[in-house]
Structure 1
Amino acid sequence: MQNPLYLPRQAGFSLIELVIATALSLILVAGVATVYMGSRQTYNARDELSTMQENARTAIKVLTKHLEHAGYTTPARLPLAKAFYVEGDPAPVSKSCGGGASSIAISDPDDLAATLDNDDPNNSGDSIGVVFFADSALAVDCGNELMPLACQAQAAPHPEYAQIYNTFYVATVAGMPNLLCAGSRSTAPLEVAEGVEAMQLAYGLDQNADGTVDNYLDAAAVKLANRWDQVRTIKASLLLRSREPVFNTAEARTYTLLGTDYSRNDRYQRTVHTAVIYLRNLAVNEGV
């Protein structure tokens, strides 16, 4: 008698099991990808934030260092009509100090940005220009360029020849917003800090000569009241932008700089930084 044919039971996965396993794998991969992308975005955000903070520190440090020179008249107390180069003032003209030395080296005097109030949220904000006399103790502009010895106060044919102009403004360079300085001894503007998208400035006035700032006004108000001689401090507020987009989708946000609102709707990360700069040469207790 023949034994019945034995067919072994098939081993492996059924179609339904394969579909379920594939689906679970896809869910797992999607989860891992989500975690990875989230971690990457967090890392990028932290990296960009660190860079923005460093750029802000650099910008404020440079602004403080060079704006503090406003109104320096040397120990001889040379006459200076105004410590600020303001919109409407005559453009500086280079003077010959003898021996081939000239007082201004910048190729285009129009690059020297005058003190100007600009509250248009679609623009880059305010600009500022300050004036001081060069001597053996202080003879460089914001680009670290030296005033020739023949043009410094102790040797210049006329005190006016010894004046140095330092100006600051925000402009876009190669697609990136930057804080720039244009000094009268530099041949061209210099990039100071990357990522500065806007700048607003307010001027602290001591209106009763008691050594204390009474209120802050923008440049337009100070100019209208002709109170540049009462300015003792400058409040600077900067809007910093990340180098690269950080967020996955555009985010609508508003940033306020000294009362001026800047609305943005994109993927860039931004921060606001504000500092007060004390103008030592214009302080009441120094007799100015």
Structure 2
Amino acid sequence: MPARSPFPARAMRLHETGLTLVELMIALAIGLLVVLVAGTLLQQARAAYQEMDDAGRVEETGRVALDHLQQVLRQAGHLPLESLPDGSSQALLPGLRGLDDSRQADVLDPAAGLFGSSTGDGVNHSDLLMLGFFGAPRGSHAEISHCSGAQAPVGKPEEAARHWVIYYIAPGTGDEPELRCRYQGKNGNWTSDAIARGVEAMQLRYAIDSDGDGRPDRWLDASAMPGEAWGRVILVRIALLVRGVQRRPAAPGSETRSYDLFLPGRRSDPAWRVTETGQEQRRRAVFQGSVMLRNQSMAEAGK
């Protein structure tokens, strides 16, 4: 006689349960909502990071470019006085020249007296700066270098031996404007290097000592500077406009933004204002600084 199970057959049946169509749709909707919220938060975090990175890039670029120009301006007109015979520097020309609204650095040769003239093709009407100096002799406390970082040669106290560098704004890779420096290498050939990418405008003003009291009393642009007045420049004011890399579409109906490199006063110049063009906006900032030219004033006082 077969053994009988102590459990009734009805209790052995397995009851299968599942989701209804409504429950399944609700679960899918909640899952999609979670994914959407997570994607939105990720996108916002990414946008915030890009904004901070772009802001940091603009600040760093402006600081580096301005510090570099201020440092090299302090070298303008440098002479190794400790190794020169008396009176040998009196025949030398000023170690500072400039051009308004120009970027044709490749046609200039200050060592040969080719200082050029304004060409009217500067990027955003940017100015061009030429600086001449001699290197420091061995054992000197001074460190004189050109834009590549190499030490400038000492040379004889002659115009042909003076080392010159030329700073200007020009389009770089991808048509991005950048601060560039043109200089002579060891073999005497001119070459050009990028100093800071994203610098889209540079304006310069020069303060001269017109009465010989050692104080700046008149501000001039390069185009208004008489040739003999370059030796009386004792203060240079620099203004740079730097832009970021993140492109943002302009909001519908938004006003076009403008940036003043120098604030208009008794005298104003249209080149001092840069206005955005196109339908894209970028982060921009203006950086300003002033440099006292000690070598220039010392050379002028010694004449």
Q: What is the alpha-carbon distance in structure 1 between the residues aligned to residue 149 and residue 31 of structure 2? A: 61
Which residue number corresponds to residue 262 of structure 1?
A: 274
Q: Is the alpha carbon distance of 1:236 and 1:139 closer, same or farther for their aligned partners in structure 2, counting shifts above 3 Å? A: closer
Q: Is the alpha carbon distance of 1:199 and 1:14 closer, same or farther for their aligned partners in structure 2, counting shifts above 3 Å? A: same
Q: Is the alpha carbon distance of 1:93 and 1:240 closer, same or farther for their aligned partners in structure 2, counting shifts above 3 Å? A: closer
The answer to whether structure 1 residue 184 and structure 2 residue 184 are counterparts is yes
Deviates more, 1:233-242 or 1:261-270: 261-270
The answer to whether structure 1 residue 253 and structure 2 residue 288 are counterparts is no
Q: What is the alpha-carbon distance in structure 2 between the residues aligned to residue 127 and residue 62 of structure 1? A: 15
Q: Is the alpha carbon distance of 1:18 and 1:210 closer, same or farther for their aligned partners in structure 2, counting shifts above 3 Å? A: farther
Q: What is the alpha-carbon distance in structure 1 between the residues aligned to residue 34 and residue 73 of structure 2? A: 58
Does the Cα contact within 8 Å between 1:166 and 1:181 map onto a contact in 2?
Answer: yes
- Match of 2:165, as an amino acid? N
- Match of 2:75, as an amino acid? H
Residues 228-257 of structure 1, C-alpha deviations (whole Å, 9 max, x = no match):
233111111111122x3253x236422221
Please point out which of 135, 143, 150 is paired with 2:148.
143
User: How far has the Cα of 1:128 moved from its partner?
Assistant: 0.4
The answer to whether structure 1 residue 85 and structure 2 residue 119 are counterparts is no
TM-score by length of 1: 0.71
User: How far has the Cα of 1:56 moved from its partner?
Assistant: 1.8
Which residue number corresponds to residue 211 of structure 2?
A: 208
Q: What is the alpha-carbon distance in structure 2 between the residues aligned to residue 23 and residue 124 of structure 1? A: 57
Deviates more, 1:79-88 or 1:185-194: 79-88
What is the DSSP-based 3-state SS (H/G/I as helix, E as strand, rest coil) of the residue aligned with 2:212? coil
Q: What is the alpha-carbon distance in structure 2 between the residues aligned to residue 30 and residue 262 of structure 1? A: 41
The answer to whether structure 1 residue 64 and structure 2 residue 64 are counterparts is no
- Match of 1:83, as an amino acid? G
- Once the two structures are superposed, the pairs formed by residues 7-86 of structure 1 within 5 Å of their partners are 12-13=19-20, 15=22, 26-75=32-81, 76=86, 78=89, 79-86=91-98
Q: What is the alpha-carbon distance in structure 2 between the residues aligned to residue 66 and residue 269 of structure 1? A: 27
Q: What is the alpha-carbon distance in structure 1 between the residues aligned to residue 64 and residue 116 of structure 2? A: 22
Which residue number corresponds to residue 126 of structure 1?
A: 127
What is the DSSP-based 3-state SS (H/G/I as helix, E as strand, rest coil) of the residue aligned with 1:227? helix
Q: Is the alpha carbon distance of 1:256 and 1:21 closer, same or farther for their aligned partners in structure 2, counting shifts above 3 Å? A: farther
- The gaps in structure 1 that reach 5 residues or longer are 1-7, 95-108, 154-158
User: How far has the Cα of 1:179 moved from its partner?
Assistant: 1.2
Does the Cα contact within 8 Å between 2:95 and 2:133 map onto a contact in 1?
Answer: yes
- Match of 1:189, as an amino acid? S
- Match of 1:273, as an amino acid? F
Q: Is the alpha carbon distance of 1:205 and 1:63 closer, same or farther for their aligned partners in structure 2, counting shifts above 3 Å? A: same
User: Between Structure 1 and Structure 2, whose CA radius of gyration is higher?
Assistant: 2
User: How far has the Cα of 1:146 moved from its partner?
Assistant: 4.6
Which residue number corresponds to residue 292 of structure 2?
A: 278
What is the DSSP-based 3-state SS (H/G/I as helix, E as strand, rest coil) of the residue aligned with 2:234? strand
Q: What is the alpha-carbon distance in structure 2 between the residues aligned to residue 272 and residue 161 of structure 1? A: 37
Q: Is the alpha carbon distance of 1:64 and 1:73 closer, same or farther for their aligned partners in structure 2, counting shifts above 3 Å? A: same
Q: Is the alpha carbon distance of 1:152 and 1:229 closer, same or farther for their aligned partners in structure 2, counting shifts above 3 Å? A: closer
Same amino acid, percent of matched pairs = 26
Q: Is the alpha carbon distance of 1:64 and 1:118 closer, same or farther for their aligned partners in structure 2, counting shifts above 3 Å? A: farther
The answer to whether structure 1 residue 236 and structure 2 residue 235 are counterparts is no
What is the DSSP-based 3-state SS (H/G/I as helix, E as strand, rest coil) of the residue aligned with 1:189? strand
Q: What is the alpha-carbon distance in structure 2 between the residues aligned to residue 206 and residue 115 of structure 1? A: 23
User: How far has the Cα of 1:142 moved from its partner?
Assistant: 2.8
Give the paired residue count. 254
Residues 193-227 of structure 1, C-alpha deviations (whole Å, 9 max, x = no match):
2221211111122333333333432211224x853
What is the DSSP-based 3-state SS (H/G/I as helix, E as strand, rest coil) of the residue aligned with 1:144? coil
Q: What is the alpha-carbon distance in structure 1 between the residues aligned to residue 119 and residue 238 of structure 2? A: 12
TM-score by length of 2: 0.68
User: How far has the Cα of 1:274 moved from its partner?
Assistant: 1.0
Which residue number corresponds to residue 165 of structure 1?
A: 164
- The gaps in structure 2 that reach 5 residues or longer are 1-14, 101-106, 264-271
Q: Is the alpha carbon distance of 1:19 and 1:206 closer, same or farther for their aligned partners in structure 2, counting shifts above 3 Å? A: farther
Does the Cα contact within 8 Å between 2:75 and 2:144 map onto a contact in 1?
Answer: no
